[in-house]
Amino acid sequence: MMKVFAHRGFSGLYPENTMLAFEKALEVGADGVELDVHLTKDGKLVVIHDEALARTTGYPGLVSDYTLDALTKIKASKTKDDRYEAYIPSFEEYCCFASDNNLITNIEIKTNRSWYCDIEKKTLEMVKAYKLEERVIFSSFNWLSISRMRILAPHLPCGLLYEDQNVRHLAYQAKDGKFNYLHPDFTLLEEEAVKECKELGIGLNVWTINSEERMLKLIDWKVDGVISNYPD
């Protein structure tokens, strides 16, 4: 059955990548959560989408300019007109939450614009510390991050995110063991490509699906998962 992942939590109604958004995703019955991890100035894992703080918090600078302690005191609800008391969470706070439920976590490693030393290793260590190995997918736009994670944990699933490449070409590379899933933008996907991925044994988790029409099409195509701002 197709899985529904809450994109940055229930981000359609609540501040993205906050514990509130993750809790609301669980409440409405999402199968999983998609979130993003960066490293702080002091080398700690934090959950936020952008490298810069401005869009979600109104603060200046980059995630890497701040310590974890400073970041977790910053309100992260600017995209919802600051209506919620929701703050930037540490990745450990999320993992503690996830250890008490059955959510699958799609962890996007944000190294496509900034490079963080050992972020893959640190992410894996936190996942292991909270015994979440059976319920995670690691993903990234960065081939190198995916390759490193495959070396560190070849038994755990990895997905390549992309928005401008040929699905069939990537599917054949996936078949060679480089990754287990493709995570394409919906607009790049055609039914024939979905069939080809299935024949090669490659999973498809498609983003970002916020309309009933697109959802029904993907159900018909039998993709593995959809990533939506509205997981309800």
pLDDT, tens digit, 9 for 90 and up, residues 9-42: 999 999 999 999 999 999 999 999 999 999 999 9
CB 189 within 8 A of CB 167: yes
Residue 178: pLDDT band by 50, 70, 90 thresholds?
confident
Q: For position 96, what pLDDT does the model report? A: 99
Average pLDDT, the chain: 96
Q: What's the rounded Cα separation, in Å, for the pair 131 and 150?
A: 18
- Calculate mean pLDDT across residues 51-71: 99
Residue 117: count other Cβ atoms within 10 Å of its Cβ. 9
pLDDT value of residue 182: 94
State residue 164's pLDDT score: 76
CA distances from 121 to 44, 161, 195 (A): 12, 19, 34
**Structure confidence at residue 76 (pLDDT):** 99
What residue spans define the domains of the chain?
Answer: 3-228
Read off the pLDDT of residues 182-224 as tens digits, 9 standing for 90 and up: 999 999 899 999 999 999 899 999 999 999 999 999 999 999 9
Question: Coil, strand or helix: which one is 176?
Answer: helix
For range 82-109, the mean pLDDT: 99
Q: Determine contact, residues 203/159, Cβ cutoff 8 Å.
A: yes
Q: Is the pLDDT of residue 60 over 80?
A: yes
Top-level class of domain 3-228: alpha beta
% of the chain residues with pLDDT over 90: 88
Alpha helices in the chain (DSSP H): 19-27, 54-57, 68-71, 91-98, 119-129, 143-152, 167-173, 191-200, 212-221
Mean per-residue pLDDT, 74-101: 98
> Annotated active-site positions, please?
7, 49
> 156-176 pLDDT, tens per residue?
999 999 887 777 778 777 777
227, pLDDT greater than 90: yes
